[in-house]
Amino acid sequence: MKLMKIVLLAASSAAILLASCTSPDGRLASLARERMALAPEVARYKHSRGLPIRDIQREEELLKSVAKAAAAEQLNPKTVQSFFADEMEFSRRIQEAWINIWKKHPPSETRPPLDLSRDLRPRIDKINAGQIQALAAGATPLNRDQLSSASARFFPKNCRSRVPDSSPSTPPVTTQR
């Protein structure tokens, strides 16, 4: 378990370091992939505890938080909320795919999942803050096609061909001026 945390922390740190060396758009895309990479582990935790995939209270709090952060950066809060809502939707799709697989074929790995509150959510919150920074630096929010592409590799192998089609793109972030 300690080794897994160390590996995940190192991968996270490397991704953040690499992302900071790229353009705002590249950084945003990198952070979105990092966020999607956590979805299977979030699913593992929820599946092990019999929790629902959707946490409406957490999602509402997050959307309020990103709207406030967007306004502080003079970004359009509704556009930023839309991007994060889409990102959460793709994360839920990944979680659902994994949990459906595990219901049919329980995982053989015996290590306990990382704790959602202690381990995973703080990392997600850090990614979210980085995404707000990238948007404030001029990144264009990923649209649903881009989020679909970013999430595809995190679905179980036999589900990758069934990544749901996306719908209209998220509009670009604009300043409130």
Q: Is residue 105 part of a domain?
A: yes
- Report how far apart, in Å, the C-alpha atoms of 32 and of each of 89, 142, 173 are: 12, 9, 16
What pLDDT sits at residue 158? Answer: 75
Q: Is residue 86 part of a domain?
A: yes
> What is the full per-residue pLDDT of the chain (177 aa) written as tens digits?
565 556 555 555 555 555 455 799 999 999 999 999 999 999 999 999 999 999 999 999 999 999 999 999 999 999 999 999 999 999 999 999 999 999 999 888 788 999 999 999 999 999 999 999 999 999 999 999 999 999 999 999 876 544 444 433 344 444 443
The domain that holds 43 is classified in CATH as 1.20.59.10
Task: Please give the helix or strand (H or E) that residue 156 lies within, else none.
Answer: none
> pTM (2 decimals)?
0.79
- The radius of gyration of the chain's CA atoms, rounded to the nearest angstrom, is 16
Domain that holds residue 34: 2-162
Q: Is residue 14 part of a domain?
A: yes
Distance in angstroms (rounded) separating the CA atoms of residues 148 and 136:
23
Q: Is residue 173 part of a domain?
A: no
Q: Is residue 70 part of a domain?
A: yes
Task: Region of 117 please: left (phi>0), alpha (psi -120 to 50) or beta.
Answer: alpha
Distance in angstroms (rounded) separating the CA atoms of residues 25 and 141:
8
Q: What is the number of domains present in the chain?
A: 1
Q: Is residue 118 part of a domain?
A: yes
